[in-house]
Amino acid sequence: MTTLWFAIAALVLTVYVVLDGFDFGAGALHLFVARTDRERRQVLAAIGPFWDGNEVWLLITGGVLFLAFPKVLASGLSGFYLAIMLVLWVLILRGISIEFRSHVDDGMWRTFWDGMFAVASTLAPVLFGAALGNLIRGVPLDEHGWFTLSFFESFSPWGRIGTLDWYTVLAGVLALAALAHHGALFLAWKTDAEVRARSLTAASRLFPVIVVLWIAATVATIMVAPDVFAAWAARPLAWACTLFFVAGLAASALARRTGRDLAAFLGSSAFLLGALAATALSVFPSMLRSSGDPALSLTAMNSSASPDSLAAALWWWPAGALIAAGYFVMLFRLHRGKAQASDGHGY
């Protein structure tokens, strides 16, 4: 039962990254792919129907952890308090920027909020990527399952560690590149004319960056957390997920070059899905790894809710998952086709 709920937690987090990832990427790139006000409103029109619904999957992830792994959630919220506050402020700033930019018909006003949207959309993937880097590297858990982390210490992933070091920053930069590439391919699919052309150019330039950063992150993980790869090598499903995300990344490049925009975006989605699934399979059953004594790690086995609670939750989980999936299928069908900037003061 705990294994199943670990898989559910990993699934909803992966869905969040794939869905909210494209509007993060679009926001990070929109100052480069959209030069005029109308082009920027076209970018906002492309992500406008989806971005707030996408963020619901982050709440679902928190709800699954609260239900199934309350010790992990409590320890993580406490230990990553400063980082979580930064994430919340970034998410709030993104929403405000989208909604406020057209409230005043003034060029300086819109330029300011466009800049804030780009900054917030850039910082969010970096923070989420650094958080994943912390989970892989490990945190200084004590015998009671608690930890504290300053934001910065020696910039080393060994010894006295902080939230940011060269390994977690590398993970954050890789996340930014991957989601910017994802967002560029989404914009290529949902826009036309100059915005589409610039988005394809951005995706083509980001592709080799992702490959280089992925290789660097793989080598760094072998140095920082070699046991992750030891577990990965012994799990065939992790191998399959690795092949899946490599194939997805290659397919996105091939489809982009042949003008199949939707296929390119789906390939990028497969890349993100496979990469996160392979990571989850490699660290299982660990959820909060101890950077000191491995016996102090919080795992799916020693930090889950009671078996009765987990079993009871399975009665409502399939129904909730079907409703959420059905909503997004309907949303994408209603907003199929190319997005266009409105003639009014909205998106």
For each of the chain's 347 residues, which pLDDT tens digit applies?
Answer: 899 999 999 999 999 999 999 999 999 999 999 999 899 999 999 998 898 889 889 988 999 999 999 999 999 999 999 889 999 999 999 999 998 988 888 888 999 999 999 999 999 999 999 999 999 999 999 988 899 888 888 888 888 898 899 999 999 999 999 999 999 999 999 998 899 999 999 999 999 999 999 999 999 999 998 888 887 778 889 999 999 999 999 999 999 999 999 999 999 999 999 999 999 999 999 999 998 888 899 999 999 998 888 998 888 888 888 888 888 889 888 888 888 876 655 55
Element of type H or E holding 93 = helix 81-100
Q: Are 307 and 1 in contact (CB under 8 A)?
A: yes
- Residue 16 CA to residue 22 CA, distance in Å, equals 10
The three-state secondary structure class of 148 is: coil
CA distance between the termini of the chain: 45
Residue 337 CB partners (closer than 8 Å, separation 6+): none
Q: Are 328 and 55 in contact (CB under 8 A)?
A: no
Neighbours of 76 (CB within 10 A): 23
- Residue 299 CA to residue 43 CA, distance in Å, equals 41
- Computed on alpha carbons and rounded to an integer, the radius of gyration of the chain in Å comes to 20
The three-state secondary structure class of 285 is: coil
Residue ranges per structural domain of the chain: 2-334
